[in-house]
Amino acid sequence: MATRRDFLSLGAMTAAGIAIAPNASAQTAESVKQLKPPAKPVIVTRVTGDNTIQEAYKMLLDGADTLDAVHHVCLGRENDPKDHSVGLGGLPNEEGVVELDSCCMHGPSRSAGSVGGVQNIRNVCQVARKVYEHTSHVMLVGKGAERFAVAVGFPTENLLTEDARKIWMLWKESNSQMDWWGPGMTSPQWKDPYADRPAPKPTIDLHGGPSSQLRPVSPGSGPIPHHPTAEWAETIRARAVTLSRMAADLDIPAANRQFAVEQILWPSTGTIHVSAVNAKGEISGATTTSGLAWKLPGRLGDSPILGAGCYTDQDVGSAGATGSGEENIKVAGAHTIVELMRQGLSPHDAGMETLRRIVRNHNGDMTKIRLLDMQYYIVRKDGAYAGVSLWNTSATGKPRVFAVHDGTYRVEKHAYLLEGTPLDWPPF
């Protein structure tokens, strides 16, 4: 889920080295999983911090439709004003307006719906479903999507909570170059914002060939130093102190100040994707998000894009994403994973291959790849599943994890392509 940066934990930051990805532990876990016959039903998603995954699993046991169960988990996040990455309370765009994106696919009926850039309606996951239930369209955006939602009975409300408004004010008042404007990393004008910090050596051997040839250069050769300099750490600390004072002036309660400051230093990403298969092998998937904090108005990420943020094929399985939406759109991530599974790859291998394509798109240039982040959540029709991540740790050095319920609820480590943690984008 969201990358939550602990700006007080500079020790943890320095612990975040980047290494070749032999990924031995993930591979062992994968081989153990392959020995165990997959169980159904199964739900794969991010950790939600509530009971909706367990409730959704019970719904599946009781014979509920798979999309109802998937949406039950999404609704829990959309309705939680404290989750600043989804629905009510989501962090707004640069103008202070919350814009939500969602899409879903219902395997048994092979239906799909999507909405993007929706204001004033909190439960966009259900609006996306209504698009295919009540129209001949698949995707509605902006004001048209909002008017449609009202027409089919959704209430309107201001989605910008007081908490989120104050965090946005803090961003406005402190904002300098920390926005999404300026040349993106594929522009010829792009400059490495961390040019003063050595990039990790390429950990992927490109051969100039397809992503299937991307392999660790020398597996097991140990971490490549990628530590923040003491000077950089001191700059962050000083900035955090200033922001904290500004947060106090804005009446942000003391208990919320660290979170608010983190949102300025490291704008929140979040999103929830849920994929599920029931005992009969019926499959559904859904993704919902408020997108990137402080995004340009009208920006759509991958979450409303069928085939990128979510893709479900009743013959094969389902996949979805959280992370750098622009990157995921360019590899049609969820669709790519499902198609690779159709060709016989395991959920794990399909996810890893898709991550390699993201790396390939930047020619293995680690000055760029260190600014990217991506997680995929994957289930196959037989109940086999995987969670895969571009990087293995969050900035606090904690392993990247996902939630799964296949009769037992548990949190598992993502398999990963690269060891280390991404740097912040937009850059501080």
Residues near ligand ASP, by CB under 6 A: 269-271, 289, 291-292, 301-303, 322-323, 325
CB of 271 to ligand ASP, least distance (A): 3
Residue with tokens 């994106």: 101
CB of 300 to ligand ASP, least distance (A): 8
| Count of CB atoms situated within 10 Å of the CB of 400 | 21
Q: What is the identity of the amino acid at 69?
A: A
Task: With residue 215 as reference, give the H or E element that holds it.
Answer: strand 215-216
CB of 85 to ligand ASP, least distance (A): 6
CB of 413 to ligand ASP, least distance (A): 19
CB of 245 to ligand ASP, least distance (A): 28
Cα separation of 14 and 27, whole Å? Answer: 26
Exposure b/e, 245-263, CB count within 10 A at least 16 = b: ebbeeeebeeeebbbbbbb
| DSSP per position, 80-106 | -TT-TTSSTT----TTS---EEEEEEE
In this complex, which beta carbon is closest to ligand ASP, that of residue 301 or of residue 397?
301
In this complex, which beta carbon is closest to ligand ASP, that of residue 322 or of residue 394?
322
The SS3 call for residue 334 is helix
Beta strands in 328-408 (DSSP E): 374-380, 385-391, 401-405
Residue number, nearest CB to ligand ASP: 325
CB of 345 to ligand ASP, least distance (A): 23
In this complex, which beta carbon is closest to ligand ASP, that of residue 59 or of residue 91?
91
Q: What are the structure tokens assigned to 395, written together?
A: 């900035």
In this complex, which beta carbon is closest to ligand ASP, that of residue 258 or of residue 389?
389
In this complex, which beta carbon is closest to ligand ASP, that of residue 199 or of residue 359?
359
In this complex, which beta carbon is closest to ligand ASP, that of residue 117 or of residue 301?
301
In this complex, which beta carbon is closest to ligand ASP, that of residue 289 or of residue 314?
289
Beta-bridged to residue 412, according to DSSP, are 402
Cα separation of 316 and 336, whole Å? Answer: 12
Beta-bridged to residue 114, according to DSSP, are 103, 139
In this complex, which beta carbon is closest to ligand ASP, that of residue 323 or of residue 397?
323
CB of 1 to ligand ASP, least distance (A): 8
CB of 96 to ligand ASP, least distance (A): 18
DSSP one-letter code for 211: G
In this complex, which beta carbon is closest to ligand ASP, that of residue 270 or of residue 387?
270
The C-alpha angle with vertex 301 and arms to 393 and 142, in degrees rounded to 5, equals: 145
CB of 289 to ligand ASP, least distance (A): 5
Q: What are the structure tokens assigned to 274, written together?
A: 């849920």
Q: What are the structure tokens assigned to 27, written together?
A: 């591979």
What is the strand order of the sheet 317-323 is part of?
310-313, 317-323, 374-380, 385-391, 415-418
- Residue 426, preceding peptide bond in cis (omega within 30° of 0): yes
β-pair type (215-216, 223-224): unpaired
